[in-house]
């Protein structure tokens, strides 16, 4: 009996303490400054002309509860929180039920968040699943419930949740999906929209119509169960034929959302940005986006791939002088696939890997005239199987060719010989210096691009060549301000010299051989079709594997990268190279339109010598075929001197 009294007292004390804690929390919430509920998702993103191209919920699109269709309100409450008007922010019975179901099924699929909790969660920049974040969300839920009415909370929630395709808030979503105001949505339209926020990338009717309809059926059944509508109303709504609009009032680009998603992903990684919107009352994000470049890039991709339904594309245009990304396409149509191939995917890069090799060779004493024999070759290794690389279409000169010729034809035999001569560490070292973080396997096929690298890293790597040797940090955001104009973040555009500028200049000139008619001999330059189309001078390298097609080219103004392939890694069509080539040249020429051909100025320690372009040997002005090539002074060939001789393994 004595023990029972002690237990009873301890239990009473525990309940009393718990009660006091809750009272204290509610008093704290009540006395705390009132939350700015319109701050959730209040983001404005600007392009490089300081014009807004995306905004989340703000006063312009905010609509009062009376201006939202009752169909939306009923469907939202019935689906998300049927006891919304009865609880004080937390539905304890629902929490207990969800916990029980999750324990029984050994999963965490059953949720129990109320509308108030979800709204509190939307006040944060990201959704980290830490205990601190959950505590903060709980505290914000209490503060919301203590300072606002249920109608005000519901109104805020409906004006700030994500309905997919960059549409935050019911008014934006209604205009986008159905070209009408939120107050005019009928039951069928409302239940389709209410189903989207659970997983915008999956339940958007523009992305997965069948899945969206299944979700709509669940919502209609819940509305019947909770006595908001009758069974025949649900049936009629489900069977109603819906007509989707799927357009924005402005910047109606199908790829612009890839840029926006990348901006928001970058924003979350910036430590100086507060992790909740209430500390900033919203954010103004200034980016490097050139809307004309973005629109034109999308247009070129769409026009070139009109006959290819499933072939995917990604592309990046970057300012090589600061790493600012001025255009980014992560796929052909964001409405169909939100996967950002430009920032996330890693693909085999093919021969676009070779410039890293040839820079390493030039740095090690090779010159543009250094020659290897182009012929069928089997390489034998003591600890590996034999390796027999092949040239495209199995074309070989069966003679010594210069490095410039090897670049022009993308000769694989020359590349493998060079890599073996130098040792793979040289090439890997150069790639790492310019910003390639992907793991590069030391295999014989390394210079042929069999390793997988992301497009954003490859573009930044080429930027180091384009700016004559400086490593840049690829980024989309230049500056972030709060709504009061206080600068929260400014991009550090400092760049580090990691390459020899004179050697980069020589490499850049050598990469023009890919479309130079002077290299027509036993083979053709890989991009010879561009020789009459380009109005400006560019360094250019293509890369082709069975599954991937790349074009990366640049001048001192811009680096442009284009990739084509299938998400399931099936073999690409034979026309993929032509598609990629056309997308690349049309996009970069459009960006350079009206500008002078501002090619690089020759450094003082570099000399120009007339050579036979194929052999690399020096010739005089009377030679039938001659090309002006560039060399570090003291390494240039003369008519009386031979160039690199692979048989003797010497460099003269």
Do 122 and 203 reside in the same domain of the chain?
yes
Assigned domain for 258 exists? no
Assigned domain for 94 exists? yes
CATH code assigned at 371: 3.40.710.10
Assigned domain for 379 exists? yes
Do 350 and 427 reside in the same domain of the chain?
yes
pLDDT of residue 351: 97
Mean pLDDT on 472-481:
96
With a cut of 90, say whether residue 472 has pLDDT above it: yes
Percent residues over pLDDT 70 in the chain: 84
Do 329 and 470 reside in the same domain of the chain?
yes
| Helix 70-80 × helix 150-160 angle, to 10° | 100
Domain containing 106: what range? 63-252
Which of the two residues, 552 and 159, has the higher pLDDT score? Answer: 552
pLDDT digits (tens, 9 = 90+) for 612-630: 999 999 999 999 999 999 9
pLDDT of residue 650: 43
Do 176 and 304 reside in the same domain of the chain?
no
Mean pLDDT on 617-646:
86
Mean confidence (pLDDT) of the chain: 88
Assigned domain for 336 exists? yes
pLDDT digits (tens, 9 = 90+) for 129-181: 566 666 777 787 888 888 888 999 999 899 989 898 888 899 989 999 999 99
Which of the 8 DSSP states describes residue 572?
A: P
pLDDT of residue 612: 95
pLDDT of residue 652: 40
With a cut of 60, say whether residue 415 has pLDDT above it: yes
Alpha carbon distance, N-terminus to C-terminus of the chain: 104
Number of structural domains (the chain) is 2
Mean pLDDT on 268-292:
84
Side-chain-side CA neighbours of 325 within 13 Å: the count stands at 27
Mean pLDDT on 58-86:
88
Do 216 and 343 reside in the same domain of the chain?
no
Do 206 and 350 reside in the same domain of the chain?
no
Assigned domain for 516 exists? yes
Q: Evaluate whether 646 touches 373 at the Cβ level (below 8 Å).
A: yes
CATH code assigned at 84: 1.10.3810.10
Structure tokens at 601: 């100025």
Residues with a known catalytic role: 80, 351
Assigned domain for 364 exists? yes
Assigned domain for 19 exists? no
Q: What is the spatial distance between Cα 611 and Cα 542, in angstroms, rounded to a whole number?
A: 25
Do 208 and 321 reside in the same domain of the chain?
no
With a cut of 80, say whether residue 646 has pLDDT above it: no
Banded pLDDT at 403 (limits 50, 70, 90):
very high
pLDDT of residue 273: 86
Assigned domain for 222 exists? yes
Which of the 8 DSSP states describes residue 548?
A: E
Do 236 and 302 reside in the same domain of the chain?
no
Do 315 and 187 reside in the same domain of the chain?
no
Q: What is the spatial distance between Cα 391 and Cα 374, in angstroms, rounded to a whole number?
A: 9
Do 528 and 420 reside in the same domain of the chain?
yes
* Residue 49 phi, psi (nearest 5): -105, 10
Do 522 and 412 reside in the same domain of the chain?
yes
Mean pLDDT on 302-331:
96
Do 244 and 334 reside in the same domain of the chain?
no
pLDDT digits (tens, 9 = 90+) for 90-141: 766 665 655 555 556 655 554 568 888 888 887 765 555 566 666 777 787 8
Residue ending a domain, choose from 218, 252, 286: 252
């Amino acid at each position: 009996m004595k023990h029972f009294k002690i237990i009873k007292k301890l239990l009473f004390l525990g309940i009393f303490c718990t009660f006091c804690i809750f009272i204290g929390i509610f008093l704290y919430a009540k006395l705390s400054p009132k939350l700015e509920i319109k701050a959730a998702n209040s983001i404005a993103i600007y392009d490089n002309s300081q014009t807004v191209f995306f905004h989340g919920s703000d006063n312009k699109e905010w609509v009062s509860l009376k201006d939202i269709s009752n169909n939306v309100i009923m469907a939202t409450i019935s689906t998300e929180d049927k006891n919304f008007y009865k609880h004080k922010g937390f539905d304890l019975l629902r929490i207990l039920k969800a916990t029980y179901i999750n324990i029984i099924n050994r999963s965490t699929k059953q949720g129990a968040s109320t509308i108030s909790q979800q709204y509190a969660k939307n006040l944060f920049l990201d959704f980290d699943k830490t205990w601190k974040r959950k505590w903060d969300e709980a505290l914000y839920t209490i503060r919301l419930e203590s300072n606002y009415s249920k109608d005000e909370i519901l109104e805020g929630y409906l004006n700030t949740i994500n309905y997919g395709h960059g549409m935050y808030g019911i008014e934006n979503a209604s205009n986008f999906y159905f070209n009408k105001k939120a107050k005019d949505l009928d039951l069928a339209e409302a239940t389709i929209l209410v189903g989207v926020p659970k997983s915008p990338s999956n339940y958007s009717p523009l992305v997965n119509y069948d899945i969206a309809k299944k979700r709509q059926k669940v919502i209609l059944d819940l509305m019947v169960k909770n006595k908001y509508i009758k069974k025949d109303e649900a049936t009629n709504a489900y069977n109603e034929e819906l007509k989707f609009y799927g357009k924005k009032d402005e910047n109606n680009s199908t790829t612009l959302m890839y840029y926006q998603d990348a901006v928001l992903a970058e924003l979350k990684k910036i430590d100086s940005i507060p992790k909740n919107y209430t500390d900033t009352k919203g954010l103004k994000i200034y980016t490097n986006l050139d809307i004309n470049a973005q629109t034109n890039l999308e247009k070129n991709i769409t026009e070139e791939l009109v006959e290819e339904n499933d072939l995917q594309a990604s592309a990046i245009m970057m300012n090589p002088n600061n790493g600012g990304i001025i255009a980014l396409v992560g796929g052909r149509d964001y409405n169909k696939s939100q996967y950002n191939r430009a920032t996330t995917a890693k693909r085999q890069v093919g021969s676009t890997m070779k410039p890293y090799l040839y820079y390493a060779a030039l740095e090690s004493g090779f010159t543009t005239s250094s020659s290897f024999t182009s012929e069928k070759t089997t390489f034998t290794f003591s600890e590996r199987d034999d390796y027999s690389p092949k040239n495209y279409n199995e074309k070989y000169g069966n003679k010594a060719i210069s490095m410039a010729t090897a670049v022009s034809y993308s000769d694989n035999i020359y590349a493998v010989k060079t890599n073996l001569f130098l040792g793979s560490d040289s090439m890997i070292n150069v790639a790492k210096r310019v910003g390639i973080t992907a793991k590069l396997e030391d295999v014989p096929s390394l210079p042929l691009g069999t390793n997988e690298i992301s497009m954003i890293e490859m573009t930044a790597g080429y930027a180091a060549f384009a700016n004559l040797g400086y490593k840049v940090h690829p980024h989309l955001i230049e500056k972030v301000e709060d709504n009061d104009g206080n600068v929260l973040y400014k991009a550090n555009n400092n760049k580090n010299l990691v390459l020899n500028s004179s050697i980069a200049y020589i490499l850049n000139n050598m990469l023009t051989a890919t479309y130079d008619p002077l290299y027509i001999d036993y083979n053709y330059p890989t991009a010879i079709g561009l020789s009459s189309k380009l109005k400006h001078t560019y360094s250019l390298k293509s890369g082709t594997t069975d599954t991937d097609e790349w074009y990366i080219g640049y001048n001192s103004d811009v680096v442009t990268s284009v990739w084509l392939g299938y998400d399931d890694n099936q073999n690409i069509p034979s026309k993929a190279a032509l598609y990629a080539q056309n997308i690349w040249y049309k996009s970069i020429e459009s960006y350079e339109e009206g500008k002078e051909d501002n090619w690089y100025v020759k450094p003082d320690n570099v000399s120009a010598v007339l050579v036979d372009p194929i052999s690399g040997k020096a010739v005089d002005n009377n030679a039938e075929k001659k090309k002006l090539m560039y060399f570090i002074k003291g390494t240039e060939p003369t008519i009386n001197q031979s160039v690199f001789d692979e048989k003797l393994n010497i460099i003269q």
